[in-house]
Amino acid sequence: MQYRKFGKLDVQVSALGFGCMRLPTLDGKSGNIDLPEATRMIRYAIDQGVNYVDTAYGYHEKMSEVAVGKALQDGYREKVNLATKQPVWLVNESADFDKLLNEQLEKLQTDHVDFYLMHALNRGSWQNKVLDFDLLSRAEAAKADGRIRHIGFSFHDDLETFKKIVDGYDHWDFCQIQYNFMDIENQAGTEGLQYAAAKGLGVVIMEPLLGGKLARDIPALNPLWATAPVQRTPAEWALQWLWDQPEVSVILSGMSTMQQVEQNIASATASSVGSLTSPEQDLIATVREQLKKLSPIPCTSCEYCLPCPNGVEIPRNFAVYNEGAMYNDPDGSRHTYMNWISEAGRASQCIQCQECEPKCPQHIHISDWMPVIEEVLGLGRPYVMQP
């Protein structure tokens, strides 16, 4: 296993961290974790040198912390840096911070968390939860009494908000961002990664494979990957691209099978900063552009079309539809559409008023696409590349 510096801290972390959001389950039910198999996988990873284990209050219907706590018995807790997250959306008063943290410690069967994060911060929760309820003072008190070793945050918003949060507290030890070779300008992006690292923060990477999308067999990309002198799986290319960057401290992989654990450990063992050649970097850039070309709708998310008078989240609907085509994952896009876009914001709410269309710099026939998106993502009809 390769180990990497964790920002300004005197800590060496394994290049690969075990993310416990996608543990094996029984009967396909998220909260019904296959405890023997999850324990076997986590302990195997630790035996192979993985020393960073990440979970959160809400993962697996609040059962992930319980499973991790059991897996880290028999001496394994002492071998790892354990990370979990404060569910700030559940905080309604300052005292909730300690109530939740103490519950998490009990579930994890430990007296301290090495890395504790304010979970999924965005512009709203930073102000309305963290600042308004003075949660950072609560975290500092927990650090002083030994329940927390290091304070950080995970993030989902734009670059401006990311920088505001990084600069809004002088004692951050680390942060966790969504980052992969397709997200270089999304959320914190490459600029955010480098900004945080320059401030001395350790940077933990989540969604390195974009929820598994970058590990999929996408036929349109196979001829490109085949041109490389060193052959790798799509997942290996994505992981090595991240490990190539010195600002990356640890990559979390949400592994569901022992095969994935073994493959990722092998890839991490072969990793190092600056290992990719210039032609290999160019190849990944070419793959990125080719994936973008697979999008049937040429939306750039400029949001000039908003606000929609009927409340439709136009760029979001386009993005979800495009992802199904880009990554050959229509079922994943259907799940996102039905579960992560509110009914009021779905394409089904479009009344074809066409008020948005003159505002679109890309000249997209938005009102033609909306019923198509509802047919495909809402009703499960076959994908189409044009309305």
Tens digit of each residue's pLDDT (9 = 90 or more) over 275-322: 999 999 999 999 999 998 888 998 888 888 999 999 999 999 999 999
What whole-number distance in Å separates Cα of residue 225 and Cα of residue 240? 14
Nearest to 238, CA basis, from 229, 227, 251: 251
Cβ count within 10 A of residue 124: 11
Torsion of CA 251, 256, 262, 263, to 10 degrees: -60
Question: Which amino acid, 188?
Answer: A
- Statement: residue 385 has pLDDT above 90: no
| Contact residues for 34 (Cβ-Cβ < 8 A; gap 6+) | 23, 24, 25, 26
pLDDT value of position 105: 98
Sequence ranges of the chain with CATH classification 3.20.20.100: 3-277
Question: Residues 345-359: what's their mean pLDDT?
Answer: 95
Question: Which amino acid, 322?
Answer: N
Question: Residues 113-139: what's their mean pLDDT?
Answer: 97
- Statement: residue 369 has pLDDT above 90: yes
What whole-number distance in Å separates Cα of residue 227 and Cα of residue 215? 18
Residue 75 CB-half CA count within 13 A? 1
DSSP alpha helix (H) spans, 14-95: 35-47, 59-62, 64-71
Question: Residues 7-35: what's their mean pLDDT?
Answer: 94
Q: Which fold has domain 3-277?
A: TIM Barrel (3.20.20)
β pairing state of 12-14 and 3-5 = antiparallel
- Statement: residue 152 has pLDDT above 90: yes
- Statement: residue 190 has pLDDT above 90: yes
pTM summary value: 0.86
What whole-number distance in Å separates Cα of residue 208 and Cα of residue 213? 10
Q: Give phi and psi for 254, each to the nearest 5.
A: -85, 90
- Supply the mean pLDDT for the chain: 95
Question: Residues 128-134: what's their mean pLDDT?
Answer: 97
Question: Which two three-digit tokens encode residue 99?
Answer: 């109530």
DSSP assignment of 94-137 equals TTHHHHHHHHHHHHHT-S-EEEEEEEEE-HHHIIIIIITTTHHH
What whole-number distance in Å separates Cα of residue 276 and Cα of residue 301? 31
Instruction: State whether residue 82 is helix, strand or coil.
Output: strand
In this prediction, what percent of the chain has a pLDDT beyond 90?
88
For the chain, percent helix, then strand, then coil, each to nearest 5? 45, 15, 40
Q: Band of the pLDDT at 160, cuts 50, 70, 90?
A: very high
Instruction: State whether residue 205 is helix, strand or coil.
Output: strand
CB 248, CB 206: distance < 8 Å: no
In this prediction, what percent of the chain has a pLDDT beyond 70?
100
pLDDT value of position 228: 94
- Statement: residue 121 has pLDDT above 90: yes
CB 18, CB 262: distance < 8 Å: no
Q: What's the Cα-to-Cα distance from 235 to each of 107, 187, 207, 210, 218, rounded to whole Å?
A: 32, 21, 12, 10, 12
| Contact residues for 276 (Cβ-Cβ < 8 A; gap 6+) | 240, 241, 244, 284
The pLDDT tens digits for 26-82 are 988 889 999 999 999 999 999 999 999 999 999 999 999 999 999 999 999 999 999
Nearest to 148, CA basis, from 136, 139, 135: 139
pLDDT value of position 48: 98
- Statement: residue 387 has pLDDT above 90: no
